[in-house]
A and B are shown apart, each in its own frame.
Chain A
Amino acid sequence: MTPNQRGFVTLLKKEVMRFWAVLGQTVTAPVITALLYLLVFAQALSGRASAYDGISYTEFLVPGLIMMTVMQNAFANTSSSLIQSKVMGNLVFLQMAPLGPWEWFAAYVLAALVRCVLVASAMFIATLFFVPLPVHQPLAILAMFLLSAGSLAVVGLIAGIVSQKFDHIAAFTNFFINPLAFLSGVFYSVHALPPFWYTASHLNPFFYMIDGFRFGFFGHADVPILHSIAWSAGFFALASAVCMRMLITGYKMKR
């Protein structure tokens, strides 16, 4: 292993150890929250007709909930790690180390993916007790999981770079992540929306992430899977380009 590779692996390990040290907050808590959503919505809307033939509303709900939780946790992992290091001042240890922008980027994003794998697996297993999910296209599930979790991890990294205090991260979460996540068709099919909101939903990248992920389970979706993959890949590429530019130039990181 070259020194550069070892530096990257160390940062990745450290980031995994960081969320592992508080697994109750970083994995268990979001899974429980999502299961509560499932319990409440499945009970309240169990009589509601599903968007797709032969699929119950509870079944319809589960992939969206898993993906929404994954996206929120991907964002939380990178953003909270970076802002904590900034506020505590220990980011200097990383900044003084011989690590390049790519190593920062890859280590933070991969660590978030590890957390998301744990969250998604825990949710998938837990929801089996409510409703067993079919798996129609495992590759689509994997692709959408990686693109969506990756995208939100990168957005979290951008938020961490731009923010100077915890309030800024909270603003990102409350005014950007949560609205886009809740208005992305997690709890409903966009076909049920009035025309304006139907069109607006198609401009929300989170909609494609959830719709494409759901396709992997049922083989049905609101838009073709290739559209979802293209939108998600495009969003990931755009966010990554912005993030890399910030890391290379030291934006808000170097005084």
Chain B
Amino acid sequence: MTTSPSNALDIVGVRKSYGSLQALKGVEFSIPRGEFFGLLGPNGAGKSTLISIIAGLVQADAGQIAVLGHDTVGDFRRARRLLGVVPQELVFDPFFKVRDMLRIQAGYYGAGREVWPWIDEMLERLDLTSKANTSMRALSGGMKRRVLIAQALVHKPPVVILDEPTAGVDVELRRTLWQFMSDLHRQGQTVVLTTHYLEEAQEMCSRIAILDRGEVKALESTRQLLRRHPFRFLRVKLAGNAALPEALRELVASESDGSIELKLETGKHPIGSVFDALRDAGVAIEDVQTRDPDLEDIFVELTR
């Protein structure tokens, strides 16, 4: 695999070990320009290590990463100017006020007064205008999270990586951030999102990579990934809390509030066969619901 300027990100054979722990075992994939890409995986999968290598915080043992064709090591200045990374941790510089911090951050990237109007626009869109002259240390966690996002975008990077931007934020802020990320994507920016909220990834990402134990377990469009799961789910509530016939017990996925969820394999377990089995056992159905698998089901399937 080679790098290409037509890809927002090229990740080629990236390996990283910490002692005997192999955090990344030759990870390799590309993200085309303009994509809203989800990078998912359980804790310890290697997501943050990979993002840290892309951002230049960690040195890979082997492999290559390019941002819009620019190598993150050999041509690090260009690569970093094209990239904005929102770190997972709530880090801040306590010496500065919000607007000053953003102007300093822009300066690191070689941007001057020409981006000041953009900084003010971001402050407004992230509901930070009233906090522009507040010291960073006086901000709430949610506000600090917004500033982190603004900091990653001060230099208008065409590729943005958000490492769990909605972790630990309230519902209102989460919605603000979703809207903000969608707007960025609409404006042509490539957005790479890592999150533990799988419904968030399912809703927003057009393509998803699932990383587990340092390896890419799946890399498909969200739609394909959802179709990949050969199951659907049937939730039944039996009249009078009757027992489920023995023949159906092996299909039980979960039980709660007196209802039972059955996991049915496409082609092997038609829904009609479940109803037939219940009728034959003389069990009446009080309520029934079906649902397609969501990203969480696929995630659990791939990472267990």
Binding site for B on A (CB under 8 A): 1-4, 6-7, 9-11, 13-14, 17-18, 21, 85, 88-90, 92-100, 250, 254-255
Instruction: Assess whether B201 is interfacial by the CB under 8 Å rule.
Output: no
Indicate which residue in B56, B79, B81, B107 contacts A10 across the interface (CB closer than 8 Å). B107
Flag the segment in B85-93, B117-125, B207-215 that touches A.
B85-93
Binding site for A on B (CB under 8 A): 18, 52, 55-59, 76-81, 83, 85, 87, 89, 91-96, 100, 104-105, 107-112, 151
B108–A97 CB distance below 8 A? yes
A13 CA to B103 CA, complexed, in Å: 11
A93–B93 CB distance below 8 A? yes
Q: Note all chain B residues with C-beta closer than 8 A to A92.
A: 55, 57, 87, 91
Q: Note all chain A residues with C-beta closer than 8 A to B91.
A: 88-90, 92-93
Return A25 CB to nearest CB of chain B, in Å.
12
A90 CA to B104 CA, complexed, in Å: 13
| Apart from A7-B110, A88-B94, A95-B55: 8 A-B pairs, beta carbons within 8 A | A6-B107, A6-B110, A7-B108, A88-B92, A92-B87, A93-B151, A94-B108, A96-B85
Report 8 cross-chain contacts, Cβ distance below 8 Å, ordered by A residue: A3-B109, A9-B107, A14-B107, A88-B92, A93-B105, A95-B55, A98-B109, A99-B108
Indicate which residue in B59, B80, B94 contacts A250 across the interface (CB closer than 8 Å). B59
Q: Which 6 A-B pairs have the closest CB atoms?
A: A3-B110, A10-B107, A89-B91, A97-B108, A98-B77, A98-B80
B57–A96 CB distance below 8 A? yes
A90–B93 CB distance below 8 A? yes
A90 CA to B59 CA, complexed, in Å: 19
Q: Note all chain B residues with C-beta closer than 8 A to A255.
A: 18, 52, 57-59
Once A96-B56, A100-B77, A255-B57 are accepted as A-B contacts, the answer to whether A14 and B104 lie under 8 Å apart by CB is yes
Q: Note all chain A residues with C-beta closer than 8 A to B78.
A: 98
Chain A residue at minimum C-beta to C-beta distance from B18? A255
Once A7-B107, A17-B96, A85-B93 are accepted as A-B contacts, the answer to whether A96 and B81 lie under 8 Å apart by CB is no
Once A90-B92, A90-B93, A98-B77 are accepted as A-B contacts, the answer to whether A11 and B108 lie under 8 Å apart by CB is yes
Q: Note all chain B residues with C-beta closer than 8 A to A17.
A: 95-96, 100
A23 CA to B94 CA, complexed, in Å: 16
Q: Note all chain A residues with C-beta closer than 8 A to B56.
A: 95-96, 254
Return A103 CB to nearest CB of chain B, in Å.
9
Q: Note all chain B residues with C-beta closer than 8 A to A6.
A: 107, 110-112
Chain A residue at minimum C-beta to C-beta distance from B108? A97
Chain A residue at minimum C-beta to C-beta distance from B78? A98
A13 CA to B112 CA, complexed, in Å: 13
Once A90-B93, A98-B77 are accepted as A-B contacts, the answer to whether A4 and B110 lie under 8 Å apart by CB is yes
A92 CA to B161 CA, complexed, in Å: 14
Q: Note all chain A residues with C-beta closer than 8 A to B79.
A: 98
Of A9, A96, A254, the most chain B CB neighbours within 10 A belong to A96
A2 CA to B112 CA, complexed, in Å: 11
